[in-house]
Amino acid sequence: MKNRNLSIWKNIDKPLILLYFVLSVMGYLIMYSSSFKGGELPHFFFNTIYGKQLIWIILTILMGLFALIIDGNFIKNSSYYLYGFVLILLIVVLFMPPIKGARSWFYFSGFSFQPSEFIKLGLSLAIAKLLSDVGSKFKDFKTKLKAFLLIMIPSILIAFQPDPGTMLVFSCFIFVLYREGLSGNFLLIALFTILIAIVGIFLKASNSIFYIGQFPLSGNLFFGFLLIIGFVFSFLIIRYFVLPRYRKQKIRSLIFISILGLSISGGINVVYDSIFKERHRTRFQIMFGIKEDRKGAGYNIYQALSAIGSGESFGKGFLKGTLSNDKYKHVPEQNTDFIFCVLAEEWGFIGSLFFIILYLATLIRIITISERQRSKFTRIYGYCISSILFFHFMINIAMVIGLAPVIGIPLPFFSKGGSAILSFGLMIFLLLRLDAERKVVLR
């Protein structure tokens, strides 16, 4: 056992663990700077934002070191149990008092715990376990259905909190399923779904009215009418221009797409009116340019853009920002959703570019580790966490610069939040542990 542990330490991927520590240190410095008010920060800081963040980082490293000595088989065999345990927490948290309008946190004397952050880890392990089990074939309908249910159940529970940002993160698992054999047609269907959703939300947010003759139709109803015409036209093309032996398959796919498109178009009305809060609806209106509210719901984005622009090429220097810290509170939520503003203002374009390169290097390293595995479980798990990290990175940056609605997706290793810091850290450490066994594990 001793020799086995020594070989595990020897085989740990040094580049990835170095990238993790660089990102963590960089993230803490940015968090520290975001709390700066001018003058000296207090030395006794365990009750401050940056102090709590440091506690979570240290706790993550300690738990990560413990994860490095756990047997890989135990991690794999515990996957469903962890997933089920976090699902129970997601149900229980719905009965907790709301914080900022959402029932997403357990709160304990100054510290909060968000189970939706840990379901990403649990789901990654569960998906990897399902698709790597002996006899499991992703081409089988039964396996696809199980994978779909594993993803949809926590998505529905999180929708009731409501937390649309975290719910949206689960769409990233389509990249994992594609890597494991999902037909490319599903990616096209996913793009079609996104397009339908964007157009539907835009029409709903704009309260558009169209007329067919003398009859007024709301934007979404008119869009549904156009979809029906498009589907009928597609059916006629298949009926008269596709070879008979391919018609049945094409018509079956068209029926599926038709039901999906009309369901999304109609379901947007329910989600937009019943689940989304007023602040979510206003954010979509601002993103689409339907509404301009510089002093209200759009305040964060406009202030964020001014802070990012003020950093220019080389930034103002560490602790020298004037717009994205606690001194003037120019950018609200500058240590959570908008923490990228602190980096951009103090480190400028060059510092932001360095951060993006560093983050992309981390993603590429994770994918490289995943591809060298003999263990199917480890490979799938690696793709799961790379997809999650990429989605968080892409949406958070797009959100800060106004290309996506503000939906509360944190920037991994940077944004305030102990649950996110711990969850993302454990994702990395578990991958390091599983990868360290790659030479002795055959499956």
| pLDDT score, position 293 | 61
* pLDDT tens profile 305-324: 888 888 888 888 888 877 87
Q: What percent of the chain has pLDDT over 70?
A: 87
The structure's pTM equals: 0.82
Helices 219-241, 184-206: inter-axial angle, 10-degree rounding: 150
174 touches 186 (CB < 8 A): yes
| pLDDT for 88 beyond 60 | yes
| pLDDT for 426 beyond 90 | yes
| Peptide bond between residue 98 and the one before it cis (omega within 30 degrees of 0) | no
| pLDDT for 8 beyond 80 | no
- Least confident residue range of 66-75, 155-164, 380-389: 155-164
- The pLDDT-based confidence of 248 (bands split at 50, 70, 90) is confident
User: Mean pLDDT across the chain, nearest whole number?
Assistant: 82
| pLDDT for 369 beyond 80 | yes
Mean pLDDT of 21-46: 78
